[in-house]
């Protein structure tokens, strides 16, 4: 049975992706702050991408065919009035959390050769988004990381896809 790991897979787009892949016979591992009820094909694991320790990923046993880096948060409003700590948390979840997760998964062979990694970036990578600067910047950082990772993984035949909803 093919398998998919999805960050932020308990709500929104991530939930729809989880349901789609489960319906099509995949085994799904969801990493999210929110956890749903485990089903035959979907297992939920509570994980805060901003503050997780890779040592807590002991439940991962087999490599995945597909990894979807979907989790993301935002803070919006007048840039000069937004608390800097909140903007840092946006970067921790949207960018650094996925960077740490990728490093762990690749180092420990949790992505199959000829597997696929999908990064859910944002249309804000291309269009001005002045009420959510940290969000736009963090998604642009994720986009740049994904682009560079694609070249890094070419010998492993792991493909990298970037998606720009919005």
Cα-Cα end-to-end distance for the chain: 32
Q: What is the pLDDT of residues 114-135, one digit of tens each?
A: 999 999 999 988 888 899 999 9
Handedness of CA 21, 23, 24, 28 (dihedral sign): positive
How far is C-alpha 106 from the geometric centre of its chain's CA atoms? 14
Q: What is the DSSP-derived secondary structure letter of residue 94?
A: I
How far is C-alpha 132 from the geometric centre of its chain's CA atoms? 19
Full set of structural domains in the chain with CATH: 3-163 (3.40.50.720)
Please list, residue by residue across 87-112, b when 16 or more beta carbons sit within 10 angstroms of its beta carbon and e when fewer do. Answer: bebbbbbbbbbbebbbebbbeeebbb
148 within 8 A of 105, measured Cβ to Cβ = no
Residues 4-17: what's their mean pLDDT? 97
Q: Report the pLDDT value the prediction gives residue 127, as an integer from 0 to 100.
A: 86
Which neighbouring-strand residues pair with 161?
118
Q: What is the pLDDT of residues 19-73, one digit of tens each?
A: 999 999 999 999 999 998 999 999 999 999 998 888 889 999 999 999 999 999 9
């Amino acid at each position: 049975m093919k398998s998919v790991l999805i960050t932020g897979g308990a709500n929104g787009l991530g939930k729809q992706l989880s349901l789609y892949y489960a319906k099509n016979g995949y085994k799904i591992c969801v990493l999210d702050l929110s956890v749903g009820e485990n089903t035959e094909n979907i297992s939920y694991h509570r994980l805060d991408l901003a503050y997780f320790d890779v040592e807590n990923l002991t439940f991962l046993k087999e490599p995945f065919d597909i990894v979807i880096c979907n989790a993301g948060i935002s803070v919006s409003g007048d840039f000069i009035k937004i608390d800097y700590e909140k903007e840092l948390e946006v970067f921790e979840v949207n960018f650094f959390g996925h960077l740490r997760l990728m490093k762990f998964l690749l180092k420990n062979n949790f992505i199959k050769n000829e597997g696929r990694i999908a990064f859910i970036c944002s249309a804000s990578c291309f269009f001005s988004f002045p009420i959510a600067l940290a969000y736009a910047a963090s998604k642009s950082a994720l986009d740049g990381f994904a682009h560079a990772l694609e070249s890094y993984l070419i010998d492993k035949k792991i493909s990298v896809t970037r998606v720009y909803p919005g």
